Amino acid sequence: MLIIPAIDLKGGKVVRLVRGDFSEELVYADDPVAVARKWAAAGARRLHVIDLDGALTGTPRHLEAIAKIAKAVEVPVQAGGGIRTVAAIAQILEAGVAQVILGTKACLDEAFVTRALKAHGERIAVAVDVKGGRVAIEGWVRKEWMKPEALIRRLVNQGVKTLIYTDASRDGTMTGPSVETLKEILKLTQGSAACFASGGISSLEDLVKLKELIPSGLSGVVVGRALYEEKLDLPKALELCSPKESSPASIQKPAGSSKASGSSG
């Protein structure tokens, strides 16, 4: 089970939102590249980078920062936020990320997902963000009519191989994950897609509970606030959940995006 540190970007800074609320913003760092290097040095085997400004406005706002992060670390980066056009997918891939995360557009436009998968295959992941039992889109500020179960079934049928399920009501709260909900979500994937969970994870005890879902198809977890506030020690979490000899749902760092030797600029 992969433990993936989250790096959420807003206004050029590394932040976390509480329950996906843009008015409840916690700022942790001014230098996203330094944060990425820190998590990579601590043993992270993948990084999760989200352009929150892009998610809210519908247009990527942190492509330069994402490109610097991808260049600065040797581990693969999955990134998203405001990726709602074919051109935006191309831009973020050119920035050096290993996997593009679609969200709003994947919910609203089934044909767009089909085109993205045809062009980029397993380099496409989809985020399923949920608030109050409904899919939340446009930076979590809009709840769609669609229930997450219906969206997940459709995405799996389309051939999406990576899903990132976020319980927005728990995200940034460190109140623990909803294990029972995740069990139901994993039943929908039927092992045909790698599923990653996010929202509320705060301790090694939480990870022990989530490890029990590995046989049901849980491939990893995305963790944010608990790492930044040192409630969860990344090396200990990795030792518990991510043995070096295993690599669930592995994605590879693109060729030509090797680690830079200079400063973050």
CATH number of the structural domain spanning residue 80: 3.20.20.70
pLDDT for the residue 265: 39
Q: Is the CB of residue 204 less than 8 Å from the CB of residue 234?
A: no
Q: Is the CB of residue 224 less than 8 Å from the CB of residue 14?
A: no
pLDDT for the residue 246: 47
* Structural domain boundaries enclosing 118: 2-241
Query: Would the CA dihedral through 69, 236, 202, 211 be positive or negative?
Result: positive
In angstroms, rounded to a whole number, what is the distance separating the alpha carbons of residues 76 and 98? 6
In a domain, 99, yes or no: yes
What is the count of structural domains for the chain? 1
| Residue 139's pLDDT band (cuts 50, 70, 90) | low
Tokens of 105: 């557009």
Say which residues have a Cβ less than 8 Å from residue 94's Cβ, sequence separation at least 6: none
In a domain, 6, yes or no: yes
pLDDT at 245 over 50: no
Residues identified as active-site: 8, 129
In a domain, 249, yes or no: no
| Residue 254's pLDDT band (cuts 50, 70, 90) | confident
Closest CA to 168 of 49, 51, 25, 18: 18
Express each pLDDT in 7-51 by its tens digit.
Answer: 999 999 999 887 667 777 899 999 999 999 999 999 999 999 999
pLDDT for the residue 146: 80
Express each pLDDT in 111-135 by its tens digit.
Answer: 999 999 999 999 999 999 998 888 8
Unique residue bearing structure tokens 């436009």 = 109
In a domain, 59, yes or no: yes
CA Rg, the chain, in Å? 17
| Residue 216's pLDDT band (cuts 50, 70, 90) | very high
In a domain, 116, yes or no: yes
Express each pLDDT in 54-88 by its tens digit.
Answer: 988 999 999 999 999 999 999 999 999 999 999 99
- pTM (two decimals): 0.91
Could you tell me whether strands 218-223 and 2-10 are parallel, antiparallel, or unpaired per DSSP bridges?
A: parallel
In a domain, 262, yes or no: no
